[in-house]
């Protein structure tokens, strides 16, 4: 597994690199937004640790570009603690968010948790889940709507797969966190950001009514012909 560390504070960058290498990860390190994108395209990492306040291009701009090109998991690192900043990052497709000052052990736990979401799980079947025009292939970790592939992040895919396994069933926010993101400690407000992104991508492929909200209860996948 390879991790790209994007951090302009040398002390933090060196320590993260040391922790990751100690745990067996290969690493690449960037100190600016532009360098991050160059290394991202060359190294093709399995996960990105991305600071927000960077020279040249800030982390949000880097994340926008990464999301146009890849669904690689991204964990944001930032000194900004306001909820609005966390929601901006999640709205752009980040998988998790760690606020400075943080424990390096906490960051490593988040890295391992997010990477576990990307690995095949034993209960995945060989047959794709089909809900009307939606096809969710658990083995290939891909989804398509009316033949058009959906560009989903790992978190979005896990949410969609959970909903597609029981179309019509209403899942509460707590259930979705437990079933789709069991290693995460995200809040329900954060889950809403991921659901919003998933709904936008489904709508972009012609499935605007596929993901339904049951007010005060949760979400469900509505089967359409």
So what's the pLDDT on residue 29? 96
So what's the pLDDT on residue 122? 42
Top mean-pLDDT range of 10-19, 112-121, 216-225: 10-19
Could you tell me the pLDDT band of residue 185, with boundaries at 50, 70 and 90? low
Q: Render pLDDT for 54-75 as a digit per residue (tens, 0 to 9).
A: 999 999 999 999 999 988 999 9
The CA R_g of the chain, rounded to the nearest whole Å, is 18
- In DSSP notation, 40-99 reads HHHH--SEEEEESS-SSS-HHHHHHHHHHH----EEEEES---HHHHHHHHHTT-SEEEE
This prediction's pTM? 0.61
- Higher-scoring residue by pLDDT: 225, 28: 28
Q: Render pLDDT for 7-50 as a digit per residue (tens, 0 to 9).
A: 999 999 999 999 999 888 889 999 999 999 999 999 999 899 99
Please, are residues 93 and 76 in contact by the beta-carbon 8 Å criterion? no
Helix (H, G, I), strand (E, B) or coil at 115: helix
């Amino acid at each position: 597994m390879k991790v790209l560390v994007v951090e302009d504070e040398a002390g933090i960058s060196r320590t993260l690199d040391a922790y990751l290498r100690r745990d067996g990860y290969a690493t690449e390190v960037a100190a600016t937004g532009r360098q991050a994108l160059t290394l991202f395209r060359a190294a093709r990492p399995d996960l990105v640790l991305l600071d927000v306040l960077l020279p040249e291009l800030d982390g949000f701009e880097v994340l926008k570009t990464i999301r146009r090109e890849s669904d690689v998991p991204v964990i944001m690192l930032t000194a900004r603690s306001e909820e609005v900043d966390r929601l901006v990052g999640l709205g752009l497709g980040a998988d998790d968010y760690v606020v400075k000052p943080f424990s390096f052990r906490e960051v490593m736990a988040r890295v391992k948790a997010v990477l576990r979401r990307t690995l095949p799980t034993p209960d995945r079947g060989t047959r794709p889940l089909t809900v009307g025009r939606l096809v969710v292939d658990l083995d290939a970790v891909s989804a398509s709507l009316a033949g058009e592939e959906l560009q989903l992040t790992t978190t979005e895919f896990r949410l969609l797969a959970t909903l597609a396994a029981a179309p019509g069933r209403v899942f509460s926010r707590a259930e979705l966190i437990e079933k789709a993101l069991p290693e995460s400690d995200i809040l329900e407000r954060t889950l809403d950001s991921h659901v919003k992104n998933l709904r936008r991508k489904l709508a972009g492929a012609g499935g605007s009514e596929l993901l339904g909200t049951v007010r005060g209860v949760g979400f469900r996948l509505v089967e359409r012909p």
